[in-house]
Amino acid sequence: MRLIKLAKVMDNTGLSRSTIYKYMSDGSFPKPVSLGVRNVAWVESEVEDWILEKVRERDEESQAAF
């Protein structure tokens, strides 16, 4: 298991900091793990799973259109 910092999450997802935190607040993005005062990181596999889910949603939508 690997933890990644916000910059890597942003790079992997293409999302901005504010969008990541907005998605977290509405429950649609993985929550970070606290590493101490003002220090958090995300579980890399959870972020990867979130990305894969977005790809699945895209594929399902494109198949539904046909």
φ/ψ of 3, rounded to 5, equals -105, 140
* Tens digit of each residue's pLDDT (9 = 90 or more) over 15-60: 999 999 999 999 999 999 999 999 999 999 999 999 999 999 999 9
DSSP string, 1-66: --EE-HHHHHHHH---HHHHHHHHHTT-SPPPEEEETTEEEEEHHHHHHHHHHHHHHHHHHHHHT-
What integer pLDDT is reported at residue 61 of this predicted model?
85
What pLDDT score does 54 carry?
97
What's the pLDDT at 62?
80
Pairing of strands 39-43, 3-4: antiparallel
Q: Which pLDDT belongs to residue 64?
A: 76
